[in-house]
Structure 1
Amino acid sequence: MDVSLNPLLDNELNQINMNILEVAFARIDREWNMKNVLSPFIRLYYVQSGEAYIEYKKRTVKLEGGNIYLIPSNLEFSYWCDSSMYKLYAHITLPGRDNYDLFSNYKDCIILSGQQKRIDTIVDEWNRGDILSSISIKTTLYQTVLEALLQENISLGAIQEYSELVKQAIQIIKNNPHLSLTAPWLAELLFVSPSQLQKKFRKEMKISLGQYLNEQVMFSAVNLLRVPDRSIKEISDTLGFCDQFHFSRRFCEYYGMPPSQYRKSILF
């Protein structure tokens, strides 16, 4: 008997995990209207009936009943509805080892056509609302993502292996996204010099440590905005901004709109 192991693959299987931010059913109408939306998460639309539209890069896509739509993270788009549409939607992330979403560099909406039976099934599972249906819904979300990747022949590349130093830095930032995080502070925590950490981080991540820190703080801001009872001031304080006006200015520079407006844009 012979057993072959692949430690890198085994580790990756434990690393890849879908974060489900929200799953809900919505009947949308003319109020569903927003321009220049930019989200750090994937949107999955299981359209049961009706129609609406999204527009990106001067391309208009009609959302129609019986189809599933995957809108990648970091794709800037506008959306509107002229009549009504019924859909189950899911907001998810698929973070890689670098904590970036695996779809963050893909810039097209993916359409899975002729999916009425699957859509009706996932809506029925959502209405049941028990443990078994939760497992079924999560399985469907994974299957949808996989089919989208295969249909579009999207390669996510080889498994990226980082040094222990960079992996530790990423984990600290992921667990503590805060403006107070700096290269000197991280370097001291990791028992290396700031220059050594910054050089190694840029070499492996292809981005400066400072830019990565800023991006992770902004990603966290969006996740906090999803919580309705968290005020803008509370989010600002949580992330280490001196006041909510500074936070709003920085957020607007990054996402193109103030946090209060962005909060409305991430609704279904």
Structure 2
Amino acid sequence: MNIEKSDGLLQNVNGVRLRVLDGGHAEGAREWAARVTNPPYARLYYICGGDAYIVPEDGHSMPLEPGMCCLLPVGFSFRYACRTRMEQLYFHIRLDDDAGGDLLSGGRMLTGMADSGRIRRLIELAKSDDLLAGLYLRQELMADILGLLELGGVAPGRARYARCVREAVSYIHGNLSMQLTVAGLAAHAHVSESTLEKSFRAQTGMTIGRYIDEAVFSRAEELLRHTELSAAQISETLGFCDQFYFSRRFSRRYGMPPQRYRKSCRI
């Protein structure tokens, strides 16, 4: 018997997870307008109707025409608005690998077309509470994401980390807290602190402390946008000493306190 296997098969199939943070069928008028700066997740838009548009940082306005399917990657800053009305199916998504990275990070906006019948089917799936509908929806979203990446000539890559760095990153994302320490991570990875710090910085481009900060505040943003947790609850969940320290750190980073940030969030 001859069995052919790929060394990376299981890691590629099982090590990537599509997460839908938020989504729904939205209709609005001229109140649909805001600026998005360095978002921690990607956006997938299916345009149903209206005269909405976005303006990326390069300043060139792009109309969102009915039938368009748009993928705006993690970190893509832009302004959006509509002249009279907008209607769309939207999803806030992450495509995380097992090292804590998002495969949809960076790059440019990708666009394609979806027929009206397909968009209507996706809307019905998104409105359903049925488990099977949710599984079908995830399958359809993944197919569209891959189609847009292929159409745009984008090949997502995964970071290749040493074992100790991979285990530290995985532990950070599984136990996200400001209370994490280099000593604790090194003990978990069964290496010395100096070995872990040196390898971590060389392979991720940042110190362990900065990596934890980035991950914690990205999670805080996500909780503010997509849950009803109070600032005090988020502060406790993420291991800050108190909510006032959390609010000060958040304000320095985003230019506004957590509650105001939550109110400023739009689709």
TM-score w.r.t. the length of structure 2 is 0.90
Q: Distance in 2 between matches of 1:95 and 1:63?
A: 27
Q: Distance in 2 between matches of 1:240 and 1:30?
A: 39
Q: What is the match of residue 213 of structure 1?
A: 212
Cα shift readout 1:67-121 (whole Å, capped 9, x = no counterpart): 1111111112222223211111111100123312112121x22111353332122
Cα shift readout 1:206-255 (whole Å, capped 9, x = no counterpart): 32222211111111112221344311122122222233333233223434
Structure-2 change in CA distance of 1:121 and 1:202 (3 Å): same
User: 1:193 Cα shift?
Assistant: 2.3
- 1:55·1:78 contact (CA, 8 Å) conserved in 2? yes
Q: What is the match of residue 49 of structure 1?
A: 49
- 1:38·1:255 contact (CA, 8 Å) conserved in 2? no
Q: Does 1:72 align with 2:56?
A: no
Q: Distance in 2 between matches of 1:30 and 1:137?
A: 29
State the identity as a percent.
Answer: 34
Gaps of 5+ in 2: none
Gaps of 5+ in 1: none
Q: What is the match of residue 83 of structure 1?
A: 84
Q: What is the match of residue 32 of structure 1?
A: 32
- 2:21·2:226 contact (CA, 8 Å) conserved in 1? no
Q: Write the letter of the residue equivalent to 1:15.
A: G
Structure-2 change in CA distance of 1:257 and 1:37 (3 Å): farther
1:229-244 pair list within 5 angstroms: 229-244=228-243
Q: Write the letter of the residue equivalent to 2:68.
A: N
TM-score w.r.t. the length of structure 1 is 0.90
Q: What is the match of residue 178 of structure 1?
A: 177
Q: How many residues align?
A: 266
Structure-2 change in CA distance of 1:194 and 1:2 (3 Å): same
1:1-150 pair list within 5 angstroms: 1-57=1-57, 58-106=59-107, 108-113=108-113, 115-150=115-150
Q: Distance in 2 between matches of 1:34 and 1:215?
A: 24
Q: Write the letter of the residue equivalent to 1:163.
A: A
Deviates more, 1:159-168 or 1:83-92: 159-168
Cα shift readout 1:17-76 (whole Å, capped 9, x = no counterpart): 101112211112222221243321111111111121222212222222111111111112
Q: Write the letter of the residue equivalent to 1:29.
A: A
SS, match of residue 99 in structure 1: coil
The alignment yields a C-alpha RMSD, in angstroms, of: 2.1
User: 1:265 Cα shift?
Assistant: 4.3
SS, match of residue 179 in structure 1: coil
Q: Distance in 2 between matches of 1:232 and 1:11?
A: 37
Q: Write the letter of the residue equivalent to 1:233.
A: A
- 2:36·2:79 contact (CA, 8 Å) conserved in 1? yes
User: 1:256 Cα shift?
Assistant: 4.4
- 1:165·1:190 contact (CA, 8 Å) conserved in 2? yes
Deviates more, 1:232-241 or 1:243-252: 243-252
User: 1:15 Cα shift?
Assistant: 0.5
Structure-2 change in CA distance of 1:127 and 1:181 (3 Å): closer
Q: Write the letter of the residue equivalent to 1:79.
A: Y
Structure-2 change in CA distance of 1:64 and 1:172 (3 Å): same
Q: Write the letter of the residue equivalent to 2:66.
A: G
- 1:39·1:266 contact (CA, 8 Å) conserved in 2? no
SS, match of residue 96 in structure 2: coil
Q: Write the letter of the residue equivalent to 1:186.
A: L
